[in-house]
Amino acid sequence: MLMAGGVWGRCMNPFDLDDKVTAAALTAVGTVIGALVQLRVSWRKEVSERARGVPVTKKSRRGPVLAVFLLVVAAGVGGFAFSQYLAIQADRESAAVRGEMRNQLAQISATAERLEHATLSDRGAMVRAEDVRHGEDDATATATIGPCRARAAGADAAPACSEQEAARVTLCTSVPLPAAITAMALYARPEGSQQRWADSRVTPGQDIGRARFADKPFERADSDQARQICTEFSSWDGDHAFSARLVVKYGAAPAPHELSQAAVAPLSEAVTGH
């Protein structure tokens, strides 16, 4: 309503006319005035002649007819001028409304663009925060266990160790208390081997030549801020030492609103993760 009122106030100015319309309007006004003057003169002349008893001739009758003809012409010119005035005012009003609409659309487009940029920035910040929050870290523990020494059965006998007599070592690595364990990996190889750790991966309980890891890992308290993830490695090989490694991958704990949707894998299942 305010926009329409402003446009109407700017457009409907009777003194703001086109030059042609102004000229036509002035011509019509001048013609009307001239015709009225001629009618008055003809009427007074006719009254005067009738008062003197002079008969009315054809020439004297032409004066009123000419005046009426001029009035008709003036009316036509005035009507044309008025129609042109209305058309011009309608065009100006339409142009003003279109201009106002273009300005409003430009403002809306600029606002939408700013909102889109703000939304993209917020989304990028959220994604970066999510990546940081869900970023993974790892902790590693490595140990070496020497050859097994069995209890001698006699003076000249040095029997091989049995699995019940195996040497054992516990590998533990510390992780933050609220951390979520995402994967665990076990590695073992003979001491002095040139084999890469990546090629030495084993599974819990797998026999790797008179040595193996325990079937299941376990946890134990470390401090108020951390806990330990542990597993046991045993060897009953009397000839070779072994190196064992435990790698634990963990990430930040799920946010409270994600707990209802998160599926927390048991620690035993995390050993097989990659």
* 139 pLDDT tier (thresholds 50, 70, 90): very high
- Name the DSSP class of 117: H
Check whether 263 has a pLDDT greater than 50.
no
* Dist CA 230 CA 246 (whole Å): 8
Report the mean per-residue pLDDT for the chain. 76
What's the rounded mean pLDDT across residues 17-39?
68
20 and 114 inside one domain: yes
142, 83: one domain: no
| 9 and 67 both lie in a single domain | yes
Mean pLDDT value across residues 60-64: 57
The DSSP output letter for 164 is: G
Statement to judge: residues 125 and 175 lie in one domain = no
Question: Could you tell me if residue 58 is inside a domain?
Answer: yes
> 96 CB contacts (<8 Å, ≥6 apart)?
7, 10, 11
pLDDT the model gives residue 61: 55
CA–CA gap between residue 111 and residue 128 (Å, rounded):
26
CA distances from 80 to 20, 143, 242, 251, 265 (A): 11, 108, 112, 85, 90
Q: Are residues 13 and 47 in the same domain?
A: yes
Choose among 247, 242, 245, 246: nearest CA to 144.
242
pLDDT of amino acid 174? 93
Q: Provide the 3-class DSSP secondary structure of residue 122.
A: helix
Res 230: pLDDT: 96
Higher pLDDT, 253 or 212: 212
Q: CA 48, CA 28: separation in Å to the nearest integer? A: 30
**190 in a structural domain:** yes
Q: Are residues 90 and 175 in the same domain?
A: no
Q: What's the pLDDT at 196?
A: 93
Same domain for 217 and 196?
A: yes
Instruction: Tell me the one-letter amino acid at 229.
Output: I
186/110 same-domain check: no
Tell me the per-residue pLDDT of 50-59, one tens digit each, with 9 for 90 and over. Answer: 676 656 555 5
- Which of 68-77, 95-104, 115-124, 132-141 comes out lowest in average pLDDT? 68-77
155 in a structural domain:
no
What range defines the domain where residue 29 resides? 2-132
**Three-state SS for 152?**
coil
Same domain flag for 140 and 109:
no
Residues 118 and 14 in one domain: yes
Q: Is 88 left (phi over 0), alpha (psi -120 to 50) or beta?
A: alpha
**Counted domains in the chain:** 2
Answer for the pair 237, 211: CB distance below 8 angstroms, yes or no: yes
Residues 103 and 202 in one domain: no
**pLDDT band of 63, cuts 50, 70, 90:** low
**Same domain? 43 vs 141:** no
Q: Is residue 154 part of a domain?
A: no
